Amino acid sequence: MDVEISQSELSGTARAPPSKSYTHRAILAAGYSGGALVFDPLISADTKATMRAVDAFGGDVTDTGEAIEIDGFGGEPTIPGDVLDCANSGTTTRLVSGTAALVDGITVFTGDASLRSRPQGPMLSAIDQLGGRGESTRGNGKAPLVLKGPISGGTVSIPGDVSSQYVSALLMAGALTDEGVTIDLETELKSAPYVDITLELLDDFGVTAEKRDGGYRVDGGQFYEPSDGEYHVPGDFSSISYLLAAGAVAADDDERVRIEGAYPSAQGDTFIVDVLDRMGADIEWNRNDGVLTVRQSSLSGVTVDVGDTPDLLPTIAALGAIADGETRIENCEHVRYKETDRVAVMAKELSNLGASVEEEDDALTIYGDESNLVGSVVDGHGDHRIVMALAVAGLAADGTTMVADAEHVDVSFPDFFDVLYDLGAGVQR
């Protein structure tokens, strides 16, 4: 699907979509339990992959429209009856790799071409260290994967600079082992707030895990038992970032864009509020009511470290192309291992719109004073975050911008273009 975005003026109220990160973890945690209801979930292509995985391991997952009703497998996953296809969801692959390590037998994972290009080696190594078996069928540390359990727990040593999801997977599964799991990090942990999300959610499901010097620890023999048998998913700040950015660059002169459902949580991507404030945006956050408001503002470039918030790089890059001065995004090499190489892709597509961009191995610099955004044809590269960030840039570009591959917003924000249209954006499919 191709979507045309015209230079627009926005106003009105939007509601934050539910968090994809919390939804993934809540579905799996409910699967690990005897059963639970997950309210306010994000139903998207990625979270459906996790729902299918819980089904495959012996759970029963039903989307009732009001909640996801999950009859869990009580900490004892069974061998899937077929190869587990995780589609484009790297989060599903990594989180449920831990589930496969608990199974007394063999599980085979695969996914689409993008997923089969992403590194999984640290998780394979961790399973080996815990007494299981983890192999890549092509011997390159990437899917298709063959995993064999059961593991009983122990100590693992893994790098922290590839993906924090390995840590989350081991903590979630480790609670169900006999001995528990101790994780020693060989390098600094990137995207650490995502592990904070996992710790927060585990606590909500009655499981105790802790951060310790140089790593993490979860005791074994625990049970997943959410309070009152239910869990409520908070709003997603990764998705909120696009709405805030859209308001900051395109809100009507006399109006504000208001975003509801923006309650504080462990999400690292709440950092976007600080970034916009530093850039000079007229932004307010009522944390008690979960309401953010933003007005179109004259933005100035800043330097931002995205080591802990890799999903914000596309949003910040789009803002940098509209802001005055230099916006430098640092500590971003790990952002190259997402659905796409988001550093290279944003550099290419913003350049196509007329931005002046310099790409380095671990940094992306956008020179706003040398940029003049003009509507053009840009490619979403099958990546939901690239699509939404380019749409934000299109709101401020002269003329009309056509974003190809735009249907991939279904991964995390299926109603994104409808929300933009309701706020007054010129959107044409």
> What DSSP assignment string belongs to 192-238?
HHHHHHHHHHHHHTT--EEEETTEEEE-SS-----GGGEEEPPB-HH
Phi, psi of 323 (to 5 degrees): -75, 160
* Alpha-carbon Rg for the chain in angstroms: 21
342 is in an annotated binding site: yes
| Residue 191, SS3 per DSSP | coil
369 is in an annotated binding site: no
114 is in an annotated binding site: no
165 is in an annotated binding site: yes
338 is in an annotated binding site: yes
Check: CB of residue 259 under 8 Å from CB of residue 16.
yes
- The neighbouring-strand residues paired with 133 are 148
429 is in an annotated binding site: no
163 is in an annotated binding site: yes
217 is in an annotated binding site: no
Catalytic residue selected from 311, 379, 383, 405: 311
Length of the chain: 429
191 is in an annotated binding site: yes
Strands 154-158 and 181-185: parallel
Check: CB of residue 17 under 8 Å from CB of residue 413.
yes
Which among 354, 296, 364 is positioned nearest to 327, based on CA atoms?
A: 364
Q: Verify whether residue 311 is a known catalytic residue.
A: yes
81 is in an annotated binding site: no
Check: CB of residue 87 under 8 Å from CB of residue 45.
yes
164 is in an annotated binding site: yes
Check: CB of residue 355 under 8 Å from CB of residue 362.
no
25 is in an annotated binding site: yes
H or E element: which one contains 313? helix 313-322
Q: Which residues are annotated as a binding site for 3-phosphoshikimate?
A: 20-21, 25, 163-165, 191, 311, 338
What positions carry a catalytic annotation?
A: 311
Q: Which residues are annotated as a binding site for phosphoenolpyruvate?
A: 20, 90, 118, 165, 342, 385
Annotated binding site: 20-21, 25, 90, 118, 163-165, 191, 311, 338, 342, 385
